[in-house]
Amino acid sequence: MAKILAISSQVVYGPVGLSAIVPALQALGHEVLAVPTVLLSYHPGHGTPVRCSIDVAALMSAVETIGALNFVDAIITGYFASADQVIETAALIKKLRPKIILVDPVIGDHGRLYVKEDVALAIRDHLLPLATIITPNAFELSWLIGKACMDFVADAKLLKVAEVIVTSVPADDQLATMRVTSAEVQWHHTQKRHNVPNGTGDYLSGLYLARIFELPREQAFAEAMNALENAIEKSGIGKVLVVA
């Protein structure tokens, strides 16, 4: 099993950020070092949360001092509360040089950024060039390439990352998630749902990363998507939209 450093938000209530990523990784036996970028009482979708700042650099420095960051196999990143945190994380990645760097650019959705622009720019400029895998939603892909997406496969390749997984891609009356590399394109189509639970993107990133240490990437993607759909179905929250 792998040693994985996970850097994202932590909430007291709700399956988002580290609360979604860490269980997905631990379920397959991976050792996870979880570094919160911010502590929230709950997802902002529930209202204005209580927010506690986190000194990410100090946490990582202390953990490094005792040797806990030795031989990290992968780093996964998600939500960042400040541009400084992004830059500090990029510096750590360059120092540790893990084989796998999965960047989930948690910056926005539904046509708008929900982080400050300097945070989004820092992710684009400092983390994107280091990533071996990136998992944007359709809006995030568009923002990162600086234009509206017309051909999602071609647009994903503009990121110049070895492996790109794009979620929430419009596909007629369905939504698609696609996995794009220089050699292949893999699609997974699902029915559109309303009121989908928060944290599905975080969970998918964790599910996929958990599987790629044991399985071929194509199979890992298919299994991660199936596990995500099962979790949504069991949650009883996201309902399939019926198109007349």
Please tell me the total count of domains within the chain.
Answer: 1
- Residue 156 in domain: no
Tell me what pLDDT residue 242 has: 34
- Residue 145 in domain: no
CA distances from 66 to 63, 69, 76, 96 (A): 6, 8, 21, 15
Q: Domain of 236: which CATH number?
A: 3.40.1190.20
Tell me what pLDDT residue 193 has: 73
DSSP 8-state class, residue 192 = -
Q: How far apart are CA 93 and CA 87, in angstroms?
A: 10
The string of pLDDT tens digits covering residues 61-104 is 999 999 999 999 999 999 999 999 999 999 999 999 999 999 99
Q: Looking at beta carbons, which pairs linking 181-186 to residues 24 or more positions away fall under 8 Å? A: 181/217, 182/157, 184/218, 185/153, 186/218, 186/221, 186/222
pLDDT (mean) for 28-34: 98
Give the structural domain span for 61: 3-138+196-240
Q: Which residues contact 216 (CB under 8 A, 6 or more apart)?
A: none
